[in-house]
Chain A
Amino acid sequence: MSEPSAHDIKSLAAEWRDRKDREDWSAEDEAALDGWLKQSSAHMIAYLRVDAAWSRADRLSALRGSTPRREPPPAPRATRSRPIFFRIAAAAVVLGVAGYAATTLLAPHPKWQAYATQVGGSETIRLPDGSRIELNTNTVLRTELSAGHRFVALEKGEAYFDIVHDAQRPLIVQVGKQRIVDLGTQFSVHRDESHLEIKLVEGRAQLESETGAKLALLTPGDVLVKRGPSLTVTRKTERVLSDELSWRRGMLTFLHTPLSDVARELNRYNREKIVIADASVARLTMNGAIPATSVSAFVNTARDVFGLKVETRGQNIVISR
Protein backbone atom coordinates (compact mmCIF):
# COMPACT_ATOMS: atom_id res chain seq x y z
CA MET A 1 0.00 0.00 0.00
CA SER A 2 1.38 3.38 -0.87
CA GLU A 3 1.36 6.19 1.65
CA PRO A 4 -1.28 8.87 1.27
CA SER A 5 0.09 11.92 -0.54
CA ALA A 6 0.37 15.31 1.10
CA HIS A 7 -2.54 16.34 -1.07
CA ASP A 8 -4.75 13.54 0.27
CA ILE A 9 -3.92 14.47 3.85
CA LYS A 10 -4.72 18.13 3.24
CA SER A 11 -8.09 17.15 1.72
CA LEU A 12 -8.90 15.02 4.75
CA ALA A 13 -7.90 17.84 7.08
CA ALA A 14 -10.25 20.24 5.26
CA GLU A 15 -13.00 17.64 5.50
CA TRP A 16 -12.45 17.31 9.28
CA ARG A 17 -12.34 21.04 9.79
CA ASP A 18 -15.53 21.49 7.83
CA ARG A 19 -17.31 18.76 9.77
CA LYS A 20 -16.35 20.41 13.03
CA ASP A 21 -18.09 23.55 11.82
CA ARG A 22 -21.40 21.72 11.34
CA GLU A 23 -24.25 21.77 13.81
CA ASP A 24 -24.34 18.00 14.34
CA TRP A 25 -20.70 17.80 15.53
CA SER A 26 -20.71 15.49 18.58
CA ALA A 27 -18.39 14.36 21.38
CA GLU A 28 -17.76 11.12 19.47
CA ASP A 29 -16.76 13.13 16.43
CA GLU A 30 -14.39 15.14 18.57
CA ALA A 31 -12.80 11.93 19.86
CA ALA A 32 -12.48 10.56 16.32
CA LEU A 33 -10.78 13.76 15.18
CA ASP A 34 -8.44 13.56 18.13
CA GLY A 35 -7.51 10.01 17.16
CA TRP A 36 -6.84 11.05 13.58
CA LEU A 37 -4.62 13.93 14.68
CA LYS A 38 -2.58 11.65 16.91
CA GLN A 39 -1.90 9.18 14.10
CA SER A 40 0.73 11.31 12.43
CA SER A 41 2.28 14.73 12.72
CA ALA A 42 1.44 15.15 9.03
CA HIS A 43 -2.24 15.02 10.03
CA MET A 44 -1.72 17.52 12.83
CA ILE A 45 0.16 19.94 10.60
CA ALA A 46 -2.42 19.76 7.80
CA TYR A 47 -5.15 20.41 10.34
CA LEU A 48 -3.35 23.35 11.97
CA ARG A 49 -2.85 24.81 8.53
CA VAL A 50 -6.50 24.66 7.44
CA ASP A 51 -7.77 25.62 10.89
CA ALA A 52 -5.60 28.74 11.07
CA ALA A 53 -6.62 29.80 7.55
CA TRP A 54 -10.30 29.23 8.24
CA SER A 55 -10.20 31.17 11.53
CA ARG A 56 -8.44 34.04 9.81
CA ALA A 57 -11.15 34.03 7.20
CA ASP A 58 -13.42 35.43 9.94
CA ARG A 59 -11.78 38.73 9.14
CA LEU A 60 -13.62 38.61 5.83
CA SER A 61 -16.71 39.67 7.75
CA ALA A 62 -15.11 43.13 7.68
CA LEU A 63 -16.21 43.16 4.04
CA ARG A 64 -19.87 42.81 4.94
CA GLY A 65 -21.95 45.27 2.93
CA SER A 66 -19.35 45.71 0.25
CA THR A 67 -19.47 43.30 -2.64
CA PRO A 68 -16.15 41.51 -2.86
CA ARG A 69 -14.43 42.07 -6.16
CA ARG A 70 -14.69 39.35 -8.72
CA GLU A 71 -11.77 40.59 -10.79
CA PRO A 72 -8.35 40.73 -9.23
CA PRO A 73 -7.01 44.27 -9.41
CA PRO A 74 -5.44 45.14 -12.77
CA ALA A 75 -2.26 46.47 -11.20
CA PRO A 76 0.16 43.57 -11.43
CA ARG A 77 2.08 42.29 -8.44
CA ALA A 78 5.17 43.51 -10.22
CA THR A 79 4.67 46.96 -8.78
CA ARG A 80 5.53 45.78 -5.32
CA SER A 81 8.76 44.00 -5.92
CA ARG A 82 10.18 45.40 -9.12
CA PRO A 83 12.54 48.33 -9.20
CA ILE A 84 12.25 48.75 -12.94
CA PHE A 85 8.56 48.50 -13.42
CA PHE A 86 7.50 51.50 -15.40
CA ARG A 87 4.58 52.97 -17.25
CA ILE A 88 4.99 54.61 -20.57
CA ALA A 89 2.79 57.37 -21.91
CA ALA A 90 0.41 55.84 -24.41
CA ALA A 91 1.42 58.14 -27.23
CA ALA A 92 5.10 57.36 -27.00
CA VAL A 93 4.53 53.65 -27.11
CA VAL A 94 2.09 53.75 -29.97
CA LEU A 95 4.85 55.22 -32.09
CA GLY A 96 7.16 52.44 -31.07
CA VAL A 97 4.99 49.67 -32.40
CA ALA A 98 4.47 50.44 -36.03
CA GLY A 99 1.89 48.32 -37.74
CA TYR A 100 -0.34 48.31 -34.75
CA ALA A 101 -0.62 52.05 -34.41
CA ALA A 102 -3.90 52.22 -36.31
CA THR A 103 -5.87 49.86 -34.06
CA THR A 104 -4.28 51.34 -30.98
CA LEU A 105 -5.28 54.85 -31.85
CA LEU A 106 -8.84 53.78 -32.50
CA ALA A 107 -9.20 52.03 -29.16
CA PRO A 108 -11.08 54.21 -26.67
CA HIS A 109 -8.48 54.29 -23.91
CA PRO A 110 -5.55 52.15 -24.77
CA LYS A 111 -3.85 51.22 -21.53
CA TRP A 112 -0.24 50.42 -22.14
CA GLN A 113 1.95 49.01 -19.50
CA ALA A 114 5.56 48.10 -19.90
CA TYR A 115 7.52 45.56 -17.94
CA ALA A 116 11.21 44.83 -17.90
CA THR A 117 13.54 42.45 -16.16
CA GLN A 118 17.26 42.87 -15.67
CA VAL A 119 19.91 40.29 -16.48
CA GLY A 120 19.21 37.38 -14.13
CA GLY A 121 15.77 38.71 -13.18
CA SER A 122 12.33 37.20 -13.62
CA GLU A 123 8.81 38.46 -13.21
CA THR A 124 5.26 37.18 -13.37
CA ILE A 125 2.49 39.40 -14.65
CA ARG A 126 -1.10 38.48 -13.88
CA LEU A 127 -3.63 39.94 -16.25
CA PRO A 128 -7.14 40.78 -15.07
CA ASP A 129 -8.57 38.00 -17.27
CA GLY A 130 -6.62 35.36 -15.31
CA SER A 131 -3.86 34.94 -17.89
CA ARG A 132 -0.26 34.92 -16.74
CA ILE A 133 2.93 35.99 -18.43
CA GLU A 134 6.30 34.99 -16.99
CA LEU A 135 9.24 37.12 -18.03
CA ASN A 136 12.66 35.53 -18.21
CA THR A 137 16.02 37.30 -17.87
CA ASN A 138 16.73 40.57 -19.69
CA THR A 139 13.29 40.93 -21.21
CA VAL A 140 11.13 43.89 -22.19
CA LEU A 141 7.45 43.44 -22.85
CA ARG A 142 4.44 45.72 -23.17
CA THR A 143 0.80 44.92 -22.75
CA GLU A 144 -2.24 46.70 -24.04
CA LEU A 145 -5.59 45.46 -22.82
CA SER A 146 -9.00 46.84 -23.53
CA ALA A 147 -12.53 45.55 -23.67
CA GLY A 148 -12.00 44.82 -27.35
CA HIS A 149 -8.57 43.28 -27.58
CA ARG A 150 -5.54 41.87 -25.84
CA PHE A 151 -2.22 42.75 -27.28
CA VAL A 152 1.33 42.12 -26.11
CA ALA A 153 4.57 43.19 -27.73
CA LEU A 154 7.73 41.28 -26.87
CA GLU A 155 10.47 43.82 -27.47
CA LYS A 156 13.31 41.56 -26.45
CA GLY A 157 14.11 38.48 -24.40
CA GLU A 158 11.86 35.58 -23.50
CA ALA A 159 8.46 35.09 -21.94
CA TYR A 160 6.11 32.24 -21.13
CA PHE A 161 2.41 32.80 -21.81
CA ASP A 162 -0.37 30.97 -20.02
CA ILE A 163 -3.41 32.44 -21.66
CA VAL A 164 -7.06 32.15 -20.75
CA HIS A 165 -8.78 31.75 -24.09
CA ASP A 166 -11.35 34.24 -25.23
CA ALA A 167 -12.63 33.69 -28.77
CA GLN A 168 -13.87 37.29 -28.94
CA ARG A 169 -10.53 38.63 -27.84
CA PRO A 170 -7.66 36.39 -28.92
CA LEU A 171 -4.37 37.40 -27.40
CA ILE A 172 -1.93 38.67 -29.97
CA VAL A 173 1.80 38.68 -29.35
CA GLN A 174 3.76 40.92 -31.66
CA VAL A 175 7.37 39.82 -32.13
CA GLY A 176 9.26 41.97 -34.59
CA LYS A 177 7.20 41.86 -37.73
CA GLN A 178 5.40 38.62 -36.91
CA ARG A 179 2.39 38.08 -34.76
CA ILE A 180 1.40 35.07 -32.75
CA VAL A 181 -2.31 34.63 -32.33
CA ASP A 182 -3.26 32.43 -29.41
CA LEU A 183 -6.03 29.94 -29.84
CA GLY A 184 -6.13 29.06 -26.12
CA THR A 185 -2.62 28.17 -25.15
CA GLN A 186 0.52 27.97 -23.11
CA PHE A 187 3.66 28.81 -25.00
CA SER A 188 7.00 30.54 -24.71
CA VAL A 189 8.53 33.06 -27.07
CA HIS A 190 12.21 33.96 -27.21
CA ARG A 191 13.74 36.51 -29.52
CA ASP A 192 17.23 37.87 -29.92
CA GLU A 193 19.07 39.68 -32.70
CA SER A 194 19.17 36.71 -35.01
CA HIS A 195 16.20 34.49 -34.32
CA LEU A 196 12.71 33.93 -33.00
CA GLU A 197 11.74 30.75 -31.19
CA ILE A 198 8.28 29.63 -30.10
CA LYS A 199 7.64 26.58 -27.94
CA LEU A 200 4.07 25.46 -27.73
CA VAL A 201 3.11 23.54 -24.59
CA GLU A 202 -0.67 23.41 -24.67
CA GLY A 203 -3.49 24.36 -27.01
CA ARG A 204 -2.85 25.94 -30.40
CA ALA A 205 -1.33 29.15 -31.72
CA GLN A 206 -0.81 30.61 -35.13
CA LEU A 207 2.12 32.58 -36.45
CA GLU A 208 1.24 35.31 -38.92
CA SER A 209 3.38 37.54 -41.08
CA GLU A 210 3.26 41.30 -41.22
CA THR A 211 0.57 41.10 -43.88
CA GLY A 212 -1.53 38.66 -41.94
CA ALA A 213 -0.52 35.60 -43.98
CA LYS A 214 -0.50 32.37 -41.99
CA LEU A 215 3.04 31.14 -41.55
CA ALA A 216 2.41 28.17 -39.28
CA LEU A 217 -0.17 26.60 -37.00
CA LEU A 218 1.47 25.18 -33.89
CA THR A 219 0.22 22.30 -31.76
CA PRO A 220 1.61 20.93 -28.46
CA GLY A 221 5.27 19.91 -28.61
CA ASP A 222 6.01 22.10 -31.61
CA VAL A 223 9.13 24.23 -31.54
CA LEU A 224 9.31 26.84 -34.24
CA VAL A 225 12.57 28.57 -35.11
CA LYS A 226 12.68 31.47 -37.51
CA ARG A 227 15.97 32.92 -38.72
CA GLY A 228 15.56 35.59 -41.37
CA PRO A 229 13.31 34.09 -44.00
CA SER A 230 13.88 30.45 -43.01
CA LEU A 231 11.39 28.79 -40.74
CA THR A 232 11.53 25.30 -39.24
CA VAL A 233 9.15 23.46 -36.95
CA THR A 234 10.28 20.43 -34.98
CA ARG A 235 8.36 18.29 -32.53
CA LYS A 236 9.71 17.66 -29.02
CA THR A 237 8.51 15.41 -26.23
CA GLU A 238 6.80 16.89 -23.20
CA ARG A 239 9.81 15.99 -21.06
CA VAL A 240 12.31 17.74 -23.30
CA LEU A 241 10.09 20.78 -23.57
CA SER A 242 9.65 20.96 -19.81
CA ASP A 243 13.44 20.77 -19.37
CA GLU A 244 13.91 23.57 -21.86
CA LEU A 245 11.40 25.68 -19.97
CA SER A 246 12.92 25.01 -16.55
CA TRP A 247 14.02 28.67 -16.43
CA ARG A 248 10.47 29.25 -15.21
CA ARG A 249 11.66 27.73 -11.93
CA GLY A 250 15.01 29.47 -12.06
CA MET A 251 16.84 26.39 -13.32
CA LEU A 252 18.61 25.52 -16.55
CA THR A 253 18.51 21.88 -17.58
CA PHE A 254 21.02 20.33 -19.93
CA LEU A 255 21.09 17.00 -21.68
CA HIS A 256 24.30 16.13 -23.50
CA THR A 257 24.72 19.83 -24.12
CA PRO A 258 28.09 21.10 -25.42
CA LEU A 259 29.77 23.44 -22.93
CA SER A 260 29.72 26.21 -25.53
CA ASP A 261 25.92 26.10 -25.53
CA VAL A 262 25.76 25.84 -21.73
CA ALA A 263 27.97 28.93 -21.47
CA ARG A 264 25.88 30.87 -23.98
CA GLU A 265 22.72 30.01 -22.07
CA LEU A 266 24.18 30.96 -18.67
CA ASN A 267 25.51 34.22 -20.11
CA ARG A 268 21.95 35.31 -20.77
CA TYR A 269 21.33 35.32 -17.02
CA ASN A 270 24.52 36.70 -15.56
CA ARG A 271 26.66 39.78 -15.79
CA GLU A 272 29.81 37.73 -15.43
CA LYS A 273 30.34 36.10 -18.80
CA ILE A 274 31.78 32.68 -19.36
CA VAL A 275 34.23 32.46 -22.22
CA ILE A 276 35.23 29.05 -23.53
CA ALA A 277 38.76 29.49 -24.77
CA ASP A 278 39.25 26.52 -27.06
CA ALA A 279 37.20 24.34 -29.35
CA SER A 280 38.08 21.06 -27.63
CA VAL A 281 36.58 22.41 -24.41
CA ALA A 282 33.52 23.70 -26.19
CA ARG A 283 32.76 20.18 -27.42
CA LEU A 284 32.60 18.59 -23.95
CA THR A 285 29.01 17.85 -23.00
CA MET A 286 27.14 18.16 -19.75
CA ASN A 287 23.99 16.76 -18.13
CA GLY A 288 21.97 18.07 -15.22
CA ALA A 289 20.32 21.15 -13.85
CA ILE A 290 21.89 24.28 -12.39
CA PRO A 291 20.40 27.48 -11.00
CA ALA A 292 20.34 30.03 -13.84
CA THR A 293 22.02 32.72 -11.79
CA SER A 294 24.72 30.48 -10.37
CA VAL A 295 27.84 30.91 -12.46
CA SER A 296 29.78 29.29 -9.63
CA ALA A 297 27.88 25.99 -9.97
CA PHE A 298 29.04 25.81 -13.59
CA VAL A 299 32.56 26.95 -12.87
CA ASN A 300 32.93 24.40 -10.06
CA THR A 301 31.78 21.64 -12.40
CA ALA A 302 34.21 22.73 -15.08
CA ARG A 303 37.07 22.71 -12.61
CA ASP A 304 36.20 19.72 -10.42
CA VAL A 305 34.41 17.39 -12.82
CA PHE A 306 36.10 18.20 -16.12
CA GLY A 307 39.45 19.28 -14.62
CA LEU A 308 39.56 22.50 -16.63
CA LYS A 309 41.45 25.70 -15.94
CA VAL A 310 39.38 28.66 -14.72
CA GLU A 311 40.65 32.23 -14.88
CA THR A 312 38.84 35.44 -14.02
CA ARG A 313 39.60 38.41 -16.27
CA GLY A 314 37.45 41.36 -15.32
CA GLN A 315 33.82 40.43 -16.07
CA ASN A 316 34.92 37.35 -17.98
CA ILE A 317 35.57 33.88 -16.67
CA VAL A 318 37.81 32.12 -19.12
CA ILE A 319 37.73 28.34 -19.24
CA SER A 320 40.47 26.40 -20.96
CA ARG A 321 42.44 23.13 -20.83
Chain B
Amino acid sequence: MNAADVNAWFVREVLPLEAGLIRFLSRRWRNQKDVEDLLQDVYMRVYEAAQKELPHPARPFVFTVARNLLINRSRREHVVAIQSVADVDLLNVFDEEPGPERNVMAREELVRLQEALDQLPPRARQAVILRKIEGLSRREIAERMGITEQTVNRHLTDGMYALTEHLWGKP
Protein backbone atom coordinates (compact mmCIF):
# COMPACT_ATOMS: atom_id res chain seq x y z
CA MET B 1 0.00 0.00 0.00
CA ASN B 2 1.05 3.53 -0.68
CA ALA B 3 2.04 5.32 2.55
CA ALA B 4 -0.22 8.32 1.95
CA ASP B 5 -3.22 6.01 1.49
CA VAL B 6 -2.47 4.14 4.68
CA ASN B 7 -2.12 7.40 6.60
CA ALA B 8 -5.36 8.80 5.23
CA TRP B 9 -7.15 5.52 6.01
CA PHE B 10 -5.79 5.52 9.55
CA VAL B 11 -7.01 9.06 10.24
CA ARG B 12 -10.39 8.43 8.65
CA GLU B 13 -11.20 4.94 9.96
CA VAL B 14 -9.11 4.23 13.04
CA LEU B 15 -8.68 7.44 15.03
CA PRO B 16 -12.45 7.93 15.42
CA LEU B 17 -12.53 4.58 17.29
CA GLU B 18 -10.14 5.83 19.96
CA ALA B 19 -12.59 6.68 22.75
CA GLY B 20 -14.28 3.29 22.41
CA LEU B 21 -10.93 1.54 22.25
CA ILE B 22 -9.72 3.22 25.44
CA ARG B 23 -12.90 2.14 27.17
CA PHE B 24 -12.47 -1.39 25.89
CA LEU B 25 -8.88 -1.59 27.12
CA SER B 26 -9.42 0.00 30.50
CA ARG B 27 -12.36 -2.23 31.32
CA ARG B 28 -10.29 -5.29 30.67
CA TRP B 29 -6.93 -4.34 32.06
CA ARG B 30 -6.31 -3.97 35.73
CA ASN B 31 -3.50 -1.42 35.76
CA GLN B 32 -4.88 1.77 34.24
CA LYS B 33 -1.39 3.20 33.90
CA ASP B 34 -0.76 0.73 31.05
CA VAL B 35 -3.73 1.78 28.93
CA GLU B 36 -1.98 4.57 27.03
CA ASP B 37 0.84 2.21 26.03
CA LEU B 38 -1.56 -0.60 25.19
CA LEU B 39 -3.41 1.78 22.88
CA GLN B 40 -0.15 2.65 21.17
CA ASP B 41 0.59 -1.06 20.66
CA VAL B 42 -2.83 -1.64 19.13
CA TYR B 43 -2.32 1.30 16.79
CA MET B 44 1.11 0.05 15.71
CA ARG B 45 -0.18 -3.42 14.93
CA VAL B 46 -3.11 -2.05 12.98
CA TYR B 47 -0.92 0.42 11.12
CA GLU B 48 1.62 -2.23 10.22
CA ALA B 49 -1.06 -4.66 9.05
CA ALA B 50 -2.51 -1.91 6.86
CA GLN B 51 0.78 -1.61 4.96
CA LYS B 52 -0.08 -4.88 3.23
CA GLU B 53 -3.78 -4.41 2.85
CA LEU B 54 -6.29 -1.96 4.28
CA PRO B 55 -8.50 -3.98 6.64
CA HIS B 56 -12.14 -3.55 5.79
CA PRO B 57 -14.29 -2.97 7.73
CA ALA B 58 -11.87 -1.33 10.15
CA ARG B 59 -13.79 -1.55 13.41
CA PRO B 60 -13.96 -5.30 14.03
CA PHE B 61 -10.38 -5.65 12.87
CA VAL B 62 -9.13 -3.00 15.32
CA PHE B 63 -11.02 -4.52 18.26
CA THR B 64 -9.81 -8.00 17.44
CA VAL B 65 -6.24 -6.73 17.46
CA ALA B 66 -6.92 -5.13 20.86
CA ARG B 67 -8.41 -8.33 22.24
CA ASN B 68 -5.50 -10.47 21.06
CA LEU B 69 -3.02 -8.03 22.52
CA LEU B 70 -4.73 -8.23 25.92
CA ILE B 71 -4.78 -12.01 25.85
CA ASN B 72 -1.08 -12.22 24.95
CA ARG B 73 -0.19 -9.69 27.60
CA SER B 74 -2.08 -11.46 30.35
CA ARG B 75 -0.41 -14.76 29.42
CA ARG B 76 2.96 -13.09 29.52
CA GLU B 77 2.31 -11.44 32.86
CA HIS B 78 0.75 -14.55 34.40
CA VAL B 79 -2.41 -12.81 35.36
CA VAL B 80 -4.40 -15.01 37.73
CA ALA B 81 -6.56 -17.75 36.32
CA ILE B 82 -9.87 -15.99 36.71
CA GLN B 83 -8.78 -13.22 34.39
CA SER B 84 -8.21 -15.61 31.52
CA VAL B 85 -11.58 -17.16 32.19
CA ALA B 86 -13.05 -13.71 31.95
CA ASP B 87 -11.28 -13.37 28.61
CA VAL B 88 -13.80 -15.79 27.16
CA ASP B 89 -16.23 -12.96 27.42
CA LEU B 90 -14.15 -10.76 25.20
CA LEU B 91 -15.42 -12.81 22.30
CA ASN B 92 -18.85 -11.31 22.71
CA VAL B 93 -17.61 -7.80 22.79
CA PHE B 94 -19.01 -6.70 19.47
CA ASP B 95 -22.58 -7.40 20.46
CA GLU B 96 -22.20 -6.19 23.96
CA GLU B 97 -20.71 -2.84 23.31
CA PRO B 98 -21.19 -0.97 20.06
CA GLY B 99 -19.29 1.91 21.69
CA PRO B 100 -19.62 5.56 20.91
CA GLU B 101 -19.25 5.79 17.15
CA ARG B 102 -17.52 8.96 16.36
CA ASN B 103 -17.60 9.49 12.66
CA VAL B 104 -19.09 12.76 13.63
CA MET B 105 -20.73 15.33 11.47
CA ALA B 106 -18.93 18.61 11.04
CA ARG B 107 -21.23 20.37 13.45
CA GLU B 108 -20.77 17.90 16.25
CA GLU B 109 -17.07 18.02 15.64
CA LEU B 110 -17.11 21.75 16.12
CA VAL B 111 -18.86 21.23 19.44
CA ARG B 112 -16.20 18.72 20.46
CA LEU B 113 -13.41 21.06 19.45
CA GLN B 114 -15.00 23.81 21.44
CA GLU B 115 -15.28 21.52 24.45
CA ALA B 116 -11.64 20.61 24.04
CA LEU B 117 -10.76 24.27 23.87
CA ASP B 118 -12.76 24.99 27.02
CA GLN B 119 -10.72 22.46 28.96
CA LEU B 120 -7.30 23.88 28.14
CA PRO B 121 -5.36 25.73 30.82
CA PRO B 122 -6.22 29.45 30.49
CA ARG B 123 -2.94 30.63 28.89
CA ALA B 124 -2.77 27.77 26.40
CA ARG B 125 -6.41 28.33 25.60
CA GLN B 126 -5.85 32.00 24.91
CA ALA B 127 -2.87 31.24 22.67
CA VAL B 128 -4.84 28.68 20.66
CA ILE B 129 -7.78 31.06 20.26
CA LEU B 130 -5.51 33.85 19.03
CA ARG B 131 -3.78 31.51 16.60
CA LYS B 132 -6.69 29.46 15.28
CA ILE B 133 -9.68 31.75 15.66
CA GLU B 134 -8.17 35.22 15.37
CA GLY B 135 -5.46 34.02 12.97
CA LEU B 136 -2.68 36.06 14.59
CA SER B 137 1.00 35.29 13.98
CA ARG B 138 3.13 34.03 16.85
CA ARG B 139 4.79 37.40 17.21
CA GLU B 140 1.42 39.14 17.41
CA ILE B 141 0.26 36.64 20.01
CA ALA B 142 3.40 37.28 22.06
CA GLU B 143 2.71 41.02 21.98
CA ARG B 144 -0.94 40.62 22.77
CA MET B 145 -0.26 38.32 25.72
CA GLY B 146 2.82 40.16 26.91
CA ILE B 147 5.04 37.08 26.83
CA THR B 148 8.00 35.89 24.72
CA GLU B 149 7.51 34.01 21.47
CA GLN B 150 9.15 31.04 23.09
CA THR B 151 6.46 30.93 25.74
CA VAL B 152 3.81 31.28 23.05
CA ASN B 153 5.33 28.23 21.36
CA ARG B 154 5.16 26.29 24.58
CA HIS B 155 1.51 27.20 25.16
CA LEU B 156 0.63 26.26 21.59
CA THR B 157 2.42 22.90 21.86
CA ASP B 158 0.59 22.18 25.13
CA GLY B 159 -2.68 23.30 23.58
CA MET B 160 -2.10 21.09 20.55
CA TYR B 161 -1.38 18.09 22.76
CA ALA B 162 -4.46 18.58 24.94
CA LEU B 163 -6.72 19.30 21.98
CA THR B 164 -5.55 16.07 20.32
CA GLU B 165 -6.18 14.00 23.44
CA HIS B 166 -9.65 15.42 23.85
CA LEU B 167 -10.71 15.25 20.23
CA TRP B 168 -9.84 11.56 19.79
CA GLY B 169 -9.80 10.15 23.27
CA LYS B 170 -12.66 11.58 25.31
CA PRO B 171 -16.00 9.78 25.20
Which residues of A line the B interface, CB within 8 A? 5-7, 9-11, 14-15, 17-18, 21-23, 41-42, 44-46, 48-50, 52-54, 56-64, 68-72, 77, 246, 249-251, 253-254, 286-291, 294, 296-297, 300-301, 304-305
Contacts and interface: CB of A to CB of B under 8 A. Distances in A.
A290 B48 CA distance: 32
B1 interface: no
Contacts of B40: 6, 9, 42, 45-46
B114 interface: yes
Contacts, number: 153
Contacts of A21: 156
B37 A6 contact: yes
A82 to B, nearest CB: 13
Interface in B103-147: 106, 109-110, 113-115, 117-119, 128-129, 132-135, 137-138
A12 to B, nearest CB: 10
A60 B112 CA distance: 10
A251 B40 CA distance: 23
Nearest to B44: A41
Interface in B141-171: 153, 156-158, 160-161, 163-165, 167-168, 171
A222 B74 CA distance: 32
Nearest to B26: A249
B165 to A, nearest CB: 8
Q: Is the interface of B mostly helix, strand, loop or mixed?
A: helix
B164 A300 contact: no
Contact of B118 (A54, A69, A253): A69
B153 A300 contact: no
B167 A56 contact: yes
- Closest 9 interchain pairs by CB? A288-B82, A6-B40, A53-B164, A14-B161, A18-B157, A297-B86, A250-B27, A288-B80, A52-B11
A54 B161 CA distance: 9
A50 B164 CA distance: 5
Given A48-B7, A64-B134, A297-B85, A17 B113 contact: no
Interface string B33-60: 0001101100110011000000000000
Given A6-B37, A296-B89, A17 B81 contact: no
Contacts of A286: 82
B30 interface: yes
Q: Which of B79, B89, B135, B158 counts the most A-chain CB atoms under 10 A from its CB?
A: B89
A297 B88 CA distance: 8
A61 B86 contact: no
A212 to B, nearest CB: 37
